[in-house]
Amino acid sequence: MKVRVIAVGKIKESYINQGIDEFIKRLQRHTSLEVIEVKDEKISGNLSSSEMNQIKEAEGEKIIEKMDNRSYTIALDPQGKPMSSEGLAKSVGNLQLQGYSSIEFIIGGALGLHEKVRKSADYILSFSHMTFTHQMARLILLEQVYRAFKIMKNEPYHL
**Is 42 within a domain?**
yes
Q: What is the pTM of this model?
A: 0.94
Task: Report if residue 83 sits inside a domain.
Answer: yes
Please state, in angstroms and rounded to a whole number, the distance separating the CA atoms of residues 52 and 38. 17
- Show Cβ contacts of residue 91 under 8 Å, excluding neighbours closer than 6 positions: 83, 123
Question: What is the tally of structural domains in the chain?
Answer: 1
pLDDT by residue (tens digit) across 123-159? 999 998 888 888 999 999 999 999 999 999 999 876 5
Binding residues: 76, 108, 127-132
Give the number of other Cβ atoms within 10 Å of residue 45's Cβ: 4
Residue 44 CB neighbours (<10 A)? 7
Q: Which residues participate in the annotated binding site for S-adenosyl-L-methionine?
A: 76, 108, 127-132
Residue 129's pLDDT is 85
CATH number at residue 75: 3.40.1280.10
Torsion of CA 42, 45, 47, 52, to 10 degrees: 30
* Domain carrying residue 108: 2-152
Give residue-wise pLDDT tens across range 84-133. Answer: 999 999 999 999 999 999 999 999 999 999 999 999 999 999 998 888 88
